[in-house]
Amino acid sequence: MKLKAWVGQLFGESQLANASSEPSSSAPTPLLESLQSNLAQIRQALGDSGDIVIREFKAGKTQGIPAALIYTDGLTDSAKVQDMVMRPLMLATDEHIDLRNETTERVKNQLLTIGDVTDIDQFQTLYGSLLAGDTVILFEGAATALALDARGWKERSVDEPTTQATIRGPKEGFTETIKTNIGLLRRKIKSTDMRIELQKIGRLSQTDVALVYINGLAEESVLGQLRHRLKHIDIDAVFESGNIEEFIQDDTISFFPTILNTERPDVIAAGLVEGRVAIIVDGTPFVLLVPALFTHFMQSPDDYYQRADIATLIRMLRLIAFFLALLAPSIYIAITSFHQEMLPSPLLISLTAARSGVPFPVFVEAFVMELTFELLREAGLRMPKAIGQAISIVGALVLGEAAVQAGLVSPAMVIVVSLTAITTFVIPSISLAVPIRILRFMLMGLSAMFGLYGIFIGIVYIMLHLNTLRSFGVPYLKPYAPFVLGDQKDGVLFRVPVWAMFLRSFAVAKRNIVRQRPQQTRERGEG
């Protein structure tokens, strides 16, 4: 927490330590028996917000007692409220409504045809469930309210994930609603051992956050740490899992991600059965998975859905792409400006001819081109789809073609930059592609100053850094450092066929590690 204090000091926020965060909420107040005073209190607390609907009516067919139905417009399924709440209440016989002391109990047990009903006896709880979308019923003379789950709002349907497309594999992706997301996971793992711990984070946003794991597989130490870290988050609002990620990651000063995020339920489900823990945040389709190691970011769900030999080759290709994306421009700079003797003569001549007339040093050339590419990429992200094509035209024609024609940039450099651009997109995880992009520039600087020597220093430093990283206590480079032989079956380079993966990854799971029982496999083989 030294860092936190230091940042605060840096930006002159130290004197704000004692300032209050929000208007302090009052102490828990019990509900009253009088309907009108309850309603008055609620109106005042919610400040007569326009989306809060208070419907007063008489419950009971003949006599009836005054009652009020409160819900938040936009979060409630009004058809449900009509059919399952209003209708039974208003048509109820006196028998159900008459006995004042037991009104709520009877209504709950005999009238309401709705699943999830809870008793509320405090104003604060009432506000909480009301704003979360519940419908609240108050009766005259009862100090207990009923909260009915008649939630229903406009929700995006389960679509194909846009960020992680695969050729083969499930086409469903998480949505913004936590319930749907948990449901998607349940559909994949129908085990009694799958546990879901719900909690709310964010003083104002009251965002639902679910911790999902498989009991007996998830490591207690990881779970404990995760619960501890989540508990200590004290912030006004959480809108995306990225907010949570920043709070709970092990190492803040690092470009490398130590928490995996994905839109794909199959990735999360596979992670759960490996003994990892998922964190679902309401309001975002991006679900977090911890611990996340370097190998996990280099793996794509496709790897497990196609044949092992093909997956292995593709993983090798991906590793080549990783190094090219990281090193291609810096090696080009180093070799062309320091180590010309390393090139075969004909290649040297071609490169020299391509560079003749280029007015900038190769580093400046590379830097400008890489920067341009990053700009194009960023611009392409923000562009509305309709004019997105303009960017590619400007990028390809104006910058690429024209710059070469004008002799400002050598064609060889355009090839190198395109190569890095392509290879960056080969890396399956965007959160790993980002550090590569940043480090690429740093390595370019090092190579421009010190040649290959500088690149090696940079690589050594990156390796040292990666070795210091932990993801919830698990070394980031496991199973390579520390080396775990068994885990090489499914690492950065290889994937053995599924029938040969007898055990769960040692990197995460420590107990109950058997995935398939070998004798069963043998039987199948004989059959």
Partner 1 sequence: MKLPNRFGRLLLALALLLVATGCWDRHELNNLAIISAIGFDKHGDKIRVTVQVLDPDEVAGTTGGGAGKAPVITYEEEGITVDDAFGRLTTKAPYPLYLSHVRMVVFGETLARGGIAKVLDFLSRDRQMRTDFYLVVAKKRTAREVLGIFTQIEKIPGNKLYSSLRTASQEWAPVQETLLIDVINDLVNKGKQLVLTGVQIEGDEKAGGTPKNNENIRSIARLSFNGIAVFKSDKLIGWLTENESKGYSYIRDKVKRTIGNVACGQEKYVSLKVIRSETKQSVRMEGGEPIVRLRVEIEADVNESTCDIDLEKDEAIAELEEESARKLNQLIDSSINRAKRMKSDIFGFGDLLERNEPGYWRAHQDQWQTLFPELEVETEIVYRIRRIGTRTNSLLKEMEE
Does 351 bind partner 1 (CB under 8 A)? Our answer is yes
Does 340 bind partner 1 (CB under 8 A)? Our answer is yes
Q: Which residue has the tokens 């050598």?
A: 410
Q: Please choose, from the candidates 220, 244, 279, the residue with its C-alpha nearest in 3D space to the C-alpha of residue 473.
A: 220
Task: Choose the binding region for partner 1 from 80-88, 96-104, 332-340, 428-436 (rule: CB under 8 A).
Answer: 332-340
Q: Which residue has the tokens 């469903």?
A: 172
Which string of DSSP letters, residue by residue, matches 40-96? HHHHHHTTT-TTEEEEEEEESSSS-EEEEEEEETTTB-HHHHIIIIIHHHHT--HHH
Pick the closer one to partner 1 by CB: 446 or 507: 446
- In the stretch 279-318, what mask flags binding to partner 1 with x, by CB under 8 A? ----------------------------------------
Task: Choose the binding region for partner 1 from 54-62, 206-214, 448-456, 481-489 (rule: CB under 8 A).
Answer: 448-456
Q: Report the nearest approach of partner 1 to the CB of residue 356 (Å).
A: 5
Does 358 bind partner 1 (CB under 8 A)? Our answer is yes
Pick the closer one to partner 1 by CB: 183 or 361: 361
Q: How many residues bind partner 1 (CB under 8 A)?
A: 31
Q: Report the nearest approach of partner 1 to the CB of residue 449 (Å).
A: 8
Pick the closer one to partner 1 by CB: 470 or 510: 470
Pick the closer one to partner 1 by CB: 136 or 335: 335
Pick the closer one to partner 1 by CB: 290 or 351: 351
Does 450 bind partner 1 (CB under 8 A)? Our answer is yes
Tokens representing 36 are: 């009108």
Task: Find the binder of partner 1 among 28, 224, 361, 473 (CB under 8 A).
Answer: 361
Q: Report the nearest approach of partner 1 to the CB of residue 352 (Å).
A: 4
- One-letter amino acid at 164 equals Q
Q: Give the CA count within 13 Å in the CB-facing half-sphere of 317.
A: 13
Does 211 bind partner 1 (CB under 8 A)? Our answer is no
Pick the closer one to partner 1 by CB: 276 or 355: 355
Residues forming beta bridges with residue 195, ordered by sequence position: 213
Pick the closer one to partner 1 by CB: 461 or 506: 461
Task: Find the binder of partner 1 among 257, 291, 451, 491 (CB under 8 A).
Answer: 451
Task: Find the binder of partner 1 among 40, 349, 500, 514 (CB under 8 A).
Answer: 349
Pick the closer one to partner 1 by CB: 334 or 414: 334
Q: Report the nearest approach of partner 1 to the CB of residue 353 (Å).
A: 4
Query: Helices H, strands E: what count in the chain?
Result: 21, 12
Are the beta carbons of 301 and 266 closer than 8 angstroms? Answer: yes
Does 352 bind partner 1 (CB under 8 A)? Our answer is yes
Strand order in the sheet with 145-148: 52-59, 65-72, 135-139, 145-148, 117-120
Q: What's the CA gap between 81 and 321, in Å, rounded?
A: 56
Contacts for 195 with CB less than 8 Å, ≥ 6 apart? 212, 213, 214, 215
Task: Find the binder of partner 1 among 34, 41, 144, 337 (CB under 8 A).
Answer: 337
Task: Find the binder of partner 1 among 90, 143, 419, 457 (CB under 8 A).
Answer: 457
HEC string of 465-501 equals HHHHCEECCEECCCCECCECHHHHHECCCCECCHHHC
Task: Find the binder of partner 1 among 7, 198, 237, 353 (CB under 8 A).
Answer: 353
Pick the closer one to partner 1 by CB: 386 or 464: 464
Task: Find the binder of partner 1 among 59, 126, 290, 334 (CB under 8 A).
Answer: 334
Task: Choose the binding region for partner 1 from 104-112, 279-287, 310-318, 330-338 (rule: CB under 8 A).
Answer: 330-338
Q: Report the nearest approach of partner 1 to the CB of residue 470 (Å).
A: 16
- Chain mean position to CA 101: 48
Task: Find the binder of partner 1 among 453, 494, 502, 506 (CB under 8 A).
Answer: 453
Q: Report the nearest approach of partner 1 to the CB of residue 348 (Å).
A: 6
Does 350 bind partner 1 (CB under 8 A)? Our answer is yes
Q: What's the CA gap between 270 and 254, in Å, rounded?
A: 27
Task: Choose the binding region for partner 1 from 31-39, 163-171, 298-306, 348-356 (rule: CB under 8 A).
Answer: 348-356
HEC string of 151-165 equals ECCCCCCCCCCCCCC
Does 454 bind partner 1 (CB under 8 A)? Our answer is yes
Q: Please choose, from the candidates 462, 463, 464, 444, the residue with its C-alpha nearest in 3D space to the C-alpha of residue 454.
A: 444
Tokens representing 456 are: 């090696």
Task: Find the binder of partner 1 among 449, 498, 503, 514 (CB under 8 A).
Answer: 449
Q: Please choose, from the candidates 308, 329, 345, the residue with its C-alpha nearest in 3D space to the C-alpha of residue 444.
A: 329
Contacts for 457 with CB less than 8 Å, ≥ 6 apart? 446, 450
Pick the closer one to partner 1 by CB: 57 or 338: 338
Q: Report the nearest approach of partner 1 to the CB of residue 451 (Å).
A: 3
Pick the closer one to partner 1 by CB: 74 or 357: 357
Tokens representing 116 are: 């999830």
Q: Is 205 helix (H, G, I), strand (E, B) or coil?
A: coil
DSSP class of 407: T
Q: What's the CA gap between 5 and 355, in Å, rounded?
A: 51
Does 354 bind partner 1 (CB under 8 A)? Our answer is yes
Pick the closer one to partner 1 by CB: 312 or 352: 352
Q: Give the CA count within 13 Å in the CB-facing half-sphere of 191.
A: 15
Sign of the C-alpha dihedral, residues 35, 36, 39, 45? negative
What residue ranges bind partner 1 (CB under 8 A)? 334, 336-341, 345-346, 348-358, 361-362, 446, 448-454, 457
